Amino acid sequence: MRTLRYGFFGEDAAQREFLVAYLDWRAREELSLQFEAVAYFGKQFGPMNNLVVDRRCFDACREAFELGHPRLDWLFIGRDVDSFELARHQFLTDALRQKIPTKWHGRTLLLLPVQCAEHWLLYLANYPRRDPLETQPKDYAKQRVYQDFAQPRVAIRTALLAILDTARIEWLTEVSVSFRAFHQQVDSYVAALPNS
């Protein structure tokens, strides 16, 4: 079994928790792979928001692949797009890629939900309906996901992510353009791994 060490450099807990659940699913599907998070990674950059992610993504890559110990196999950079426009999603994707040296492109994956990560969670809550939820404002998605005020937000996210399975992943790639872009990056990375 091969273990891939990764770091997450992103703006919020919902993105990180989604990534962990996604990679847990991936490990169940790819029986020869295991994913190990470097828990401290990202904390050295201080409080996170989209501006910090935009400004420091090069520094995060350098820390991941050259300076840090242990070195990472791959780095996930997470940032909410804060817009439902696909042109904005593509613009931010291109802008972040330009800040990352080409030598690290194959090891740096972008997790960029249209609007916010809660849209991906809202899709999971509404499975298998195909409503275009990413066109709804981010406040709508957050209110719908966290509508049970008696439950802590982390408990709500945990419950939604616990149901992540192959059928829901395949469905999510059909209904969410931003999730599909993320999923395809991971597919490409895994496919390019040398056999060992």
pLDDT digits (tens, 9 = 90+) for 50-106: 999 999 999 999 999 999 888 999 999 999 999 989 899 999 999 999 999 999 999
pLDDT of residue 43: 84
Domain count, the chain: 1
Per-residue burial over 120-149, b if 16 or more Cβ lie within 10 Å, else e, is: bbbbbbeeeeeeebbebebeebbebbeeee
What size, in residues, is the chain?
196
Any domain includes 88: yes
Give the Cα separation of 105 and 125 in Å (integer). Answer: 33
Mean local confidence (pLDDT), 116-132: 93
Instruction: Return the beta strands (E) in 15-55 as ranges.
Output: 33-37
Structural domain of 72: 2-191
Mean pLDDT for all residues in the chain: 93
Indicate the pLDDT class of residue 196, thresholds 50, 70 and 90: low
Is residue 196 situated within a structural domain?
no
Average pLDDT of 149-168? 95
